[in-house]
């Protein structure tokens, strides 16, 4: 009998490789994948699931479809040491099947590491459910940290340009309020990318509130950010005032050496003393005065 490919789509296959389905025979130690019906009560959700919220209306619609037609596409799970199964992909189908009253689900049973679990959950969600920008950024960051991937390696795993990966990861540097606005859809990723360039916290939040309250376009936001930068003036660096003892010593050194002497001191008492000279002969003259 001809074997069928386990998972349609190159995303998960790219992570685990091209593996054929093998009939479940109770001995999974020698196989990489199998297929069978799994009791819903034995399935645990994926701790690496990037998506944190599921639309209740969409789930109910899927549940109604499952009541009428059943589960067309199997979920993907891995067997745990305690005999339970952990979801790799298909949490929407799993939740909707619970709502539909099913007691078991068709499932591809894979052997996968935690790193592969995380990668597959991310790829499956990006391809099927369109995570919001912050969920993608957090997932990319988790993959980099947990699987010790470089930006280039991550780019190859998820099929995205390296620059795209970097742009998502930069979102993690945004203030919490801006991240929340992005997650909730109040601003777009393009808005957020414009705001990344505003480092002043007060100015940043002021522009964020303008975007939300005035429904600013991305172009208007970019113009607002540019205008703010143009209005900024170079800050005047205030020198720490020298204590009277240091000021007096500076004057005495100048008189004694016949040269300009500059003393700088921080508020914590740390500082430098600089003696200026005009040429080599002047340098030798000063050295003789310091070391007679």
Task: Return the active site residues.
Answer: 91
- Number of Cβ within a 10 Å radius of residue 51: 18
What is the C-alpha to C-alpha distance for residues 242 and 192, in angstroms, rounded to an integer? 45
Supply the DSSP symbol for 233: -
What is the C-alpha to C-alpha distance for residues 39 and 87, in angstroms, rounded to an integer? 12
Residues 160-199 as b/e (b if ≥16 CB within 10 A, e otherwise) read beeeebebbbebeebeeebbebbbeeebbbebbbbbeebe
Residue corresponding to tokens 């009253």: 101
What is the C-alpha to C-alpha distance for residues 94 and 71, in angstroms, rounded to an integer? 9
Q: Is 99 helix (H, G, I), strand (E, B) or coil?
A: helix
SS (H, E, C) 195-226: HCCCCCHHHHHHHHHHHHHHCCCHHHHHHHHH
Counting Cβ atoms within 10 Å, is residue 144 exposed (0-12), middle (13-18) or buried (19+)? middle
Residue 77 φ then ψ, to 5°: -135, 170
Q: Is 272 helix (H, G, I), strand (E, B) or coil?
A: strand
Contact 138, 172 (CB under 8 A): yes
Contact 166, 151 (CB under 8 A): yes
CA 209 to chain centre: 23
């Amino acid at each position: 009998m001809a074997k069928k490919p386990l998972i349609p789509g190159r995303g998960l296959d790219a992570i685990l490789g091209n593996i054929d389905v093998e009939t479940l025979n109770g001995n999974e130690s020698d196989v990489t994948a199998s297929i069978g019906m799994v009791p819903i009560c034995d399935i645990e959700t994926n701790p690496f699931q990037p998506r944190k919220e599921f639309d209740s209306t969409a789930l109910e619609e899927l549940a109604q479809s499952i009541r009428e037609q059943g589960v067309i596409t199997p979920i993907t799970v891995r067997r745990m040491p305690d005999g339970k199964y952990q979801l790799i992909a298909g949490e929407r189908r799993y939740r909707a099947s619970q709502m539909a009253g099913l007691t078991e689900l068709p499932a591809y049973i894979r052997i996968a590491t935690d790193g592969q679990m995380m990668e597959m959950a991310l790829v499956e969600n990006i391809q099927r459910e369109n995570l919001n920008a912050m969920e993608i950024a957090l997932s990319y960051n988790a993959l980099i940290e947990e699987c010790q991937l470089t930006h280039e390696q991550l780019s190859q795993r998820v099929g995205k340009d390296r620059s795209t990966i970097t742009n998502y990861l930069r979102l993690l540097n945004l203030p919490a309020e801006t991240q929340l606005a992005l997650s909730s859809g109040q601003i777009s990723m393009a808005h957020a990318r414009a705001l990344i360039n505003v480092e002043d916290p007060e100015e940043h939040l002021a522009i964020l509130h303008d975007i939300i309250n005035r429904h600013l376009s991305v172009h208007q936001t970019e113009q607002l950010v540019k205008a703010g930068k143009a209005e900024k003036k170079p800050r005047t660096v205030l020198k720490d005032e020298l204590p009277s003892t240091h000021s007096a010593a500076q004057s005495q050194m100048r008189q004694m050496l016949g040269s300009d002497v500059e003393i700088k001191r921080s508020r914590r008492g740390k500082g430098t003393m600089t003696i200026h000279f005009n040429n080599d002969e002047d340098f030798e003259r000063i050295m003789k005065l310091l070391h007679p």
